[in-house]
Amino acid sequence: MAKHTGNKPYMCEECGYRTADRSYLTIHVKKHTGEKPYKCDQCDFSAAHKVSLDLHLTKHSGEKPFMCGQCEYRTALRSQLSEHMRTHTGMKPYKCDKCDYSASCKGNLVKHMHKHTGEKPYMCGECGFRTADRSSLTVHLRRHTGVKPYKCDQCDYSAAHKVSLDLHLTKHSGEKPFMCGQCEYRTARMTNLTAHMRKHTGEKPYKCDQCDYSAAQKCHLDRHVAKHAGEKPYMCEECGYRTAQRSNLSVHMRKHSGEKPYKCDQCDYSASHKYNLDRHMYKHTGEKPFMCGECGFRTADRSYLTVHMRKHTGAKPYKCNKCDYSAAQKCHLDQHVAKHNGE
C-alpha cells in the first residue's frame, strides 16, 4: 500500500534517507556502517549487497549468458542487458521531477538529483573529500591506498581508473576510433577530439579572471595563470631552470638527457616534444589544417598562421628598447638590434 500512498515510514537516522520498504533501509544503512556480509569464496572480495556478489562471481566464471540481439554486447546480469537495450531504443524512463532531465539508468537519476539537493553523502575518512557519487569515492580512495585494480593483459601496466586502462590499451591496438570531420585527425580519446575541434571553431572556453586571455584547453589557462602569480616551483637541478609546470620541467630535462620519445612511424625522425612530431607528420600527409580566414593561406603550423595574420592586422608585437622600431617577427627585431650593437 505504501507505493500507492507514497508513505515512506522507514528512515535512516544518519542522513534522513526514507523508504517504503524495511529491507531497503537495511541495505542502505550498510553504506554508513561499511558492513559487507556477502563474501566471495574464491578471493577476498566482499559486498554489502548480494547482487553485487553475484555480479562479482561471474568474473571468476567468465559467464555472460545475456546477449543483445542488435550488437555483440554480452553481460552476466539481465538488468544490465535491459539498461544496455536503451542505448538502441533511446528510452529514458527515469524522469527528474524538478527539471526536464531524464535517464536510462536509475543510478544516473539518483546522481543527478544530488545536483538539486547539493547533498554529498559519501565522504573520505582520510581527507574529508565528499561526493554525491559512491563510485567517485571508490576511485578517490585509490589516491590514498595506491590500489590499481585495472591490469593490462599485454604488459605490466596497471591503473586506478578503467578509463586509463582503456586508453593505454589503444597503444597496443593502435585503435583511434574518434575522427575529426574537418581534417584527418584521429585519436583514441573523445576528450582529445573535443579539444582538437576548437582548432577549427576557434572556441576558447577557458577564461582568465585577471586579464582578457582565453584558451582552448584548461592546461593552457593554468600555465597562463601561473604567469600572474609568478610562481615557479619546479626547478632543474642541472642548470637552475625554473617553471610553473611539472610537464614543462619534464620536457626541459630532455635537453640534458637527449631523450626523444616521440617517434615517427613512417621514417626515422624522433622528437623531444609531441608538438614537434605532430608538425613533422604533416610532411608525410601533406595536410595543412590551419587556414587564414582573410585570404585562404594554409599552413601545417599554427605558429606560422599566427605570424601570417599580422600581415592583415598590422600587429608588430616585437619592440626595440632603444628606438621606436617594432616588428611582426622576432627574427626581424633581432636583425634590427644587431644594427644598434654594430654587429
Does residue 213 lie in a domain region? Answer: yes
- From the list 234, 207, 233, the residue with the least C-alpha distance to 218 is 207
| pLDDT at residue 125, as a whole number | 86
Would you state the cell numbers that stand for residue 54, as one nine-digit string?
553475484
pLDDT at residue 239 in the model: 92
> What would the pLDDT profile of 13-35 be if each residue is shown by its tens digit?
878 788 888 888 888 887 787 78
Does the residue 205 lie in any domain? yes
Instruction: Name the residue with cell 568474473.
Output: 59
pLDDT computed for residue 150 by the predictor: 87
Per-residue pLDDT reduced to its tens digit, 85-123: 888 888 888 899 989 989 888 888 888 888 888 888 888
- Do the Cβ atoms of 161 and 139 come closer than 8 Å? yes
The reply to whether 11 falls in a domain is: no
Q: What is the mean pLDDT of the chain?
A: 85
Q: Is residue 217 part of a domain?
A: yes
In degrees and rounded to multiples of 5, residue 327 shows phi and psi of -140, 155
Domain that holds residue 242: 195-313
Is the backbone of residue 90 left (phi > 0), alpha (psi -120 to 50) or beta? Answer: left
Please, which residues have CB within 8 angstroms of residue 274's CB and are 6 or more apart in sequence? 262
Is 293 part of any domain? yes
pLDDT (0 to 100) of residue 6:
65
Q: pLDDT value at position 168?
A: 86
pLDDT value at position 268? Answer: 92
In a domain, residue 305? The reply is yes
User: How many domains are there within the chain?
Assistant: 1
Structural domain includes residue 228: yes
The residue ranges of the chain whose pLDDT is under 50 are none
> 57 lies in a domain?
no
- The CATH number linked to 248 is 3.30.160.60
